[in-house]
Amino acid sequence: MLLYYITDRNQFPGGGVERRARLLDRIAQAAEAGVDWIQLREKDLAARELAHLAEDALRRIAPHRAKLLINSRLDVALAVGAGGVHLTSADLSAGQARMVAAMAGGSIEGWEFLVAVSCHSASEVRLAATQGADFVVLAPIFEKILAAPQQVHGQSRLPGIGCEAIREAGRSVSVPILALGGVTLANAASCLAAGTAGVAAIRLFQEGDLAETVRRLRATQAGF
């Protein structure tokens, strides 16, 4: 099972400096616990701030096998030597990102750069796969509670597309599909049963005992 921690330092208590420190500590804990990929999703930061944060995060995870992906900012990902970039539907395509990345470092022996794509339907998964994504994150699988500024038509909940969407997408693509959106220790098994290659989450990995969370997720995987 692939485990993908998506960061959000604004969910931590305290001021800006304290939240940044807490985030870096959590990233280090995630890498040590065996999380495979970590997406630095601090969308409110300017490029320079994001780059400095990414550099600090890379130093924290260096002793471990975890890879750091930067949300949307391909330029920052390449500049700091991150493990990859995570793209949304508003960004350039996976193919375009791969072309730029290859031009930037494809001649380096052993160089590897991951391109992940956020998807919300089976058709989007198929498109991302044909464009060269290394893996996709399909969301929201389960009902998602929205923050107040994100409320849609006065509602604070976004219905999930269900595990059947994982099955449908998996029938026509070979790239790993990770489940995102309302994923918990209780329902992770349902995602695996539907064919997901792993799970992605913010709160699941950012709250509580992270080592125990990873242990229980690995134990769930052992049942399949």
CA distance linking residue 72 with residue 163, whole number of Å: 26
DSSP string, 181-194: SS--TTTHHHHHHT
DSSP string, 20-51: HHHHHHHHHHHHHHT-SEEEE--TTS-HHHHH
Complete domains list, the chain, with CATH: 2-116+181-222 (3.20.20.70)
Residue 147 per-residue DSSP state:
P
Residue 66 contacts residue 36 (beta carbons within 8 Å): yes
Question: According to the model, what pLDDT value does residue 171 have?
Answer: 95
Question: According to the model, what pLDDT value does residue 144 have?
Answer: 72
Question: According to the model, what pLDDT value does residue 106 have?
Answer: 52
pTM beyond 0.85, yes or no: yes
Question: According to the model, what pLDDT value does residue 154 have?
Answer: 52
Question: According to the model, what pLDDT value does residue 108 have?
Answer: 47
Q: With left for phi above 0 and alpha for psi between -120 and 50, is residue 105 left, alpha or beta? A: alpha
Instruction: Outline where 131-207 has alpha helix (H).
Output: 164-170, 188-193, 203-206
Question: According to the model, what pLDDT value does residue 158 have?
Answer: 78
Question: According to the model, what pLDDT value does residue 146 have?
Answer: 65
Residue 72 per-residue DSSP state:
S
Structure tokens at 74: 């391909």
Residue 146 per-residue DSSP state:
P
Instruction: Provide the Cα torsion 18, 40, 63, 216; round to 10°.
Output: 90
Question: According to the model, what pLDDT value does residue 110 have?
Answer: 55
CA distance linking residue 171 with residue 144, whole number of Å: 25
Instruction: Give the chain's residues under pLDDT 70.
Output: 106-111, 146-156
